[in-house]
Structure 1
Amino acid sequence: MAVMHQQRLPDSAESAAAEFLVVCLCAEWCGVCREYRSAFQEIAGQFSTARFHWLDIEAHADELGDLDVENFPTLLIKRREWVLFYASMPPSPSHLQRTLRAFLQQSADESRAYAHASAERRGWQENIDLRRLGPDELARICT
């Protein structure tokens, strides 16, 4: 089931929102995920410059391809086509807030450089399943 924060924004804010995407990959059976969901929704309300989605990996396993989710919650944070973060994250709202604030402070050029600054991050950019999870695909599978 998807969240969430898709309110109509002014054109400049909507343009910025199109740049950032935050996806929580969880499972309904996971107690930690169920407890984290309300905090994730609250954070979505605090960051109008990003689109947030809650994605149940079991309900949408066919659409996720070979994505490997080992721990919950796993977060995917993208700016445009660049994957900035793809890993499990402690289910602490403050951790996600700090991470998002840091990414939101980057210029587009800084985000692109960050996305390619390590072998792990370069691998994320080449992962077809991560690349495919963009606003259009999430709108399709999360409705």
Structure 2
Amino acid sequence: MLNLPDKHETNIQKQLFEGKRLIAGLCASWCENCESWQIVFSSLSDKYPDYCFVWLDIEDHPDMVAEVDLDILPVLLVQDRDNILFLGPVRPDREVAERIIQSTSSTMQVFEPGIRDFLIEGCSFANESI
């Protein structure tokens, strides 16, 4: 399922609190590459239901993406609870995206942009014991 922060906030928070891998597409409505990427990204979200796919429009959520270099769009973020596996621009190519999403053997040494924390912030069950 492709989650939108404004429409699926509770679902996003629940999945991230459970520790699901975050797959975030950072795009803009004015970006032609992002149009193509959204189609690919949405189909990947259907194929990988065990991951939390979030579509972030950088114009709608500038505070959420303030720490990310957005000179080239679209940008893909793949993040486990503790590690960023990928953060960078991507072409809207399904095969490349799948390889990045499925990767379990690498982490990137990059500045933590705080997107995962921003999405889970205020989660009503975040203070409950597991």
TM bracket, shorter-chain basis? 0.7 to 0.9
Q: Does the Cα contact within 8 Å between 1:26 and 1:55 map onto a contact in 2?
A: yes
1:21 alignment counterpart: 22
Greater share of helix residues, 1 or 2?
1
Q: Does the Cα contact within 8 Å between 2:86 and 2:100 map onto a contact in 1?
A: no
Quickly say closer, same or farther: Cα 1:80–1:95, change in 2 above 3 A: same
1:62 alignment counterpart: 63
Q: 1:23, 1:47 → 2: CA distance?
A: 13
2:127 alignment counterpart: none
2:39 alignment counterpart: 38
Q: Does the Cα contact within 8 Å between 2:64 and 2:118 map onto a contact in 1?
A: no
Determine which structure has greater relative contact order: mean sequence separation of CA pairs < 8 Å that are 6+ residues apart, divided by chain length.
2
Report how many aligned residue pairs link the two structures: 111
Shift of 1:139: 5.5
Q: Where do 5+ consecutive residues of structure 2 fail to align?
A: 122-130
The 4+ residue runs of structure 1 with deviation greater than 6 A are: none
Q: 2:20, 2:120 → 1: CA distance?
A: 15
Query: Residues 8-61 of structure 1: CA distance to partner in whole angstroms, max 9, x if unpaired?
Result: 8xxxxx79x733110011001001101221211110010122100010112111
State the TM-score, normalized to the length of structure 1. Answer: 0.66
State the TM-score, normalized to the length of structure 2. Answer: 0.72
Query: Residues 97-133 of structure 1: CA distance to partner in whole angstroms, max 9, x if unpaired?
Result: 12222x2xx3xxx5xxx32xxxxx32x1xx24x2x21
Q: Does the Cα contact within 8 Å between 2:25 and 2:74 map onto a contact in 1?
A: yes
Corresponding residue SS for 1:18: coil
2:125 alignment counterpart: none
1:11 alignment counterpart: none
Q: 2:88, 2:45 → 1: CA distance?
A: 19
Shift of 1:91: 0.7
Q: 2:49, 2:74 → 1: CA distance?
A: 21
1:133 alignment counterpart: 115
2:49 alignment counterpart: 48
Question: Aligned-pair RMSD on alpha carbons?
Answer: 2.5
The one-letter amino acid paired with 1:79 is: D
Q: 1:100, 1:64 → 2: CA distance?
A: 20
Q: Does the Cα contact within 8 Å between 1:24 and 1:55 map onto a contact in 2?
A: yes
Q: Does the Cα contact within 8 Å between 1:4 and 1:41 map onto a contact in 2?
A: no
